[in-house]
A and B are shown apart, each in its own frame.
Chain A
């Protein structure tokens, strides 16, 4: 049992099983749509978790990359009639390049200084998106043209459920492999102590930039998927509150836990949907639940429950 769970394929397989099982359990296309939104957020959160949970670097500006990915599939097909898939690829490429360019000076900063620098960086992207209305439609957002694959129009909640679910499984599989690779070991080493990691011969700056680029690409792909599913993009996808939401998903689910990323995304996507029935008390309840979860399960849901489970067995 223990060996089964520690196997590298275990986590992606658990997620795949979840995607398949839920497709039978969910009663209507509305629920399938919400589930697709969970898979998309979870993908971005896995990427951010690689940066935060494994390398120990905070980013309060990740929605910037998410927004760039979303606007790539909105703007590029509209302006240059590029295929949405190529547009998403271009978005991921641009995000990777930007992360590579700004990564070195930004990741030199530590703790709260890193937080404020990434925050400022994210705000700059969000501001450019909502102010350059000739390109992006400004604060009102812009429509995204439907994707066609080999003459077949991709639409419908169920189709997107499977596409985004598949993307999530692939994303989780890549992340698990990355964590188990020498890069993953280097990241965990520099998380514990940068000086010690450097003494052990790890090029700290290079590994930090590498994981920053990877997490930016995850966010971009997730953003592109969201834009294609919704058929519409707004500047809110790139703004500060969305960055905070992504960070909250990482922390609530559990830092350094891939399954936790999915759990965190599920809670913060589904909870507001449930709370809308409380109308004006919606925000109060959301804030209250965030506080209670973090106070009771301070290291995140999945790690806290896992620790509890292990203590029981002993």
Chain B
């Protein structure tokens, strides 16, 4: 039982990060139909920038804020310089552009930062909290609480503010949104900025547990993309459930079956789910019009 609880907590902690990455995918995808494979790089920028700023003597909260702002600037630049000029290109072309951006950002991080692994001190100590026989790192609570707050804040933003509703309107129908006077280009740029901020926060929260380096983005983008598809592309709830599910599958797979094949277990389950439900867990069946 203690073991089970332990796997649950570590799975949920990693899963929360996947969920945030998947949420970032979803927000950008809904606003612009772009699958942004540079999403993992936002997580990397958040973690790496905080590490280097704190090493330079900046206090942690300020360093975190600057890192988030840096990621937001990168997100905006990605939209303005790479996605906007390619408007109207095919989905695969856009994917290749975001992969190019991801390679570029990784190369940039290699030059600006370095190629080592880095960690941050835990926000509230390293003494594990005993709970039902499982030892839980205090940082896990930070990650889970952070993810929870972000989800709530997003929910409130999309349902309670005018700008949030403009984003939803753009997601629903871009032409109609433009006709009622919504600046859709601004909305799409804004969604890149929000996704970048979410990714950066995830990166800062999880760095004390999983470490960070210039090249962690690829794997995170992969897992986040898989999680978003598992939940059903474009569905925020699906992204969260998908992210947590991938995290839990990995933790239980590594704990009970085989640690070398933990990623395999997650992907086997995803393949199985997609074979039965081709639109993901929460997706709608797509109908082709001729």
Given A116-B225, A282-B107; A248-B260 close (CB under 8 Å): no
Nearest CB of A to B93, in Å: 5
Interface residues on B, range: 35 or more
Interface residues on A, range: 35 or more
Q: Does A193 interact with chain B (Cβ within 8 Å)?
A: yes
Which residues of B are found within 8 Å of A294, using beta-carbon distances? 86, 89, 93, 96-97, 100
Closest-by-CB residue of A relative to B94 is A294
Q: Is the interface of A mostly helix, strand, loop or mixed?
A: helix
Given A194-B288, A287-B101; A120-B92 close (CB under 8 Å): no
Determine the distance from Cα of A111 to Cα of B108 in the docked complex, in whole angstroms. Answer: 31
8 A Cβ contacts from B154-207 to A: none
The contact of B233 among A106, A112, A244, A248, by CB within 8 Å, is: A112
Q: Is the CB of B89 within 8 A of A131?
A: no
Which residues of B are found within 8 Å of A124, using beta-carbon distances? 264, 267-268
Q: Does B69 interact with chain A (Cβ within 8 Å)?
A: no
Nearest CB of B to A198, in Å: 10
Contact with B along A215-255 (1 / 0, CB 8 A): 00000000000000000000000001100100110011001
Which residues of B are found within 8 Å of A289, using beta-carbon distances? 100
Given A113-B280, A283-B110, A287-B105; A244-B226 close (CB under 8 Å): no
Determine the distance from Cα of A108 to Cα of B285 in the docked complex, in whole angstroms. Answer: 12
Q: Does B106 interact with chain A (Cβ within 8 Å)?
A: yes
Q: Does B235 interact with chain A (Cβ within 8 Å)?
A: no
Q: Does A14 interact with chain B (Cβ within 8 Å)?
A: no
Contact with A along B224-265 (1 / 0, CB 8 A): 011001000100000000000000000000000000110110
Which residues of B are found within 8 Å of A113, using beta-carbon distances? 229, 233, 274, 278-280
Determine the distance from Cα of A124 to Cα of B89 in the docked complex, in whole angstroms. Answer: 31
Nearest CB of B to A257, in Å: 14
Q: Does A298 interact with chain B (Cβ within 8 Å)?
A: yes
Closest-by-CB residue of B relative to A194 is B288
Given A109-B278, A116-B274, A244-B99; A281-B111 close (CB under 8 Å): yes
Contact with B along A165-201 (1 / 0, CB 8 A): 0000000000000000000000000000111100100
Which residues of B are found within 8 Å of A286, using beta-carbon distances? 100, 103-104, 107
Q: Is the CB of B218 within 8 A of A247?
A: no
Q: Is the CB of B104 within 8 A of A58?
A: no
Q: Is the CB of A290 within 8 A of B99?
A: yes
The contact of B260 among A131, A193, A281, A284, by CB within 8 Å, is: A131
Closest-by-CB residue of A relative to B268 is A124
Determine the distance from Cα of A19 to Cα of B151 in the docked complex, in whole angstroms. Answer: 57
- 7 cross-chain pairs, A with B, having the tightest CB-CB distances, nearest first: A287-B104, A283-B107, A290-B100, A287-B103, A284-B107, A120-B267, A116-B229
Contact sample, A vs B, 15 pairs, CB 8 Å cutoff: A52-B92, A112-B233, A116-B225, A119-B226, A120-B226, A120-B268, A123-B222, A128-B264, A195-B288, A196-B290, A248-B96, A283-B106, A291-B97, A294-B86, A294-B97
